[in-house]
Structure 1
């Protein structure tokens, strides 16, 4: 029974684990690239900030919802 749980007795499991780790690293790297691109796109297409003069909000400045 001890031999069944011994990871050094199964070299193919080390190889499979290394392969899995490589796939996960690659997937994480691609995910990070995609998220960075999305963040850059959002930053580039963000609407006017609150400090910009916005003619639509001129009449609502200083008013509350009451």
Structure 2
């Protein structure tokens, strides 16, 4: 089970396009665009994917660190 997995990606648009194509194989689809300005100060914008009414796989824009 996955719960709140966050990936930092350099190109959000490209990452969303990739995961929107591959995650449905696992029964996961795009669910939510979260506006970070609605959260605590400094909260990033997030692109969320999930299944069964839960969003648990999140992408955020930034400098990826391996």
Smaller-chain TM-score range? under 0.3
TM-score (norm 2): 0.22
Question: Which structure has the larger Rg over C-alpha atoms?
Answer: 1
TM-score (norm 1): 0.22
Question: Which of the pair is proportionally richer in helix?
Answer: 1
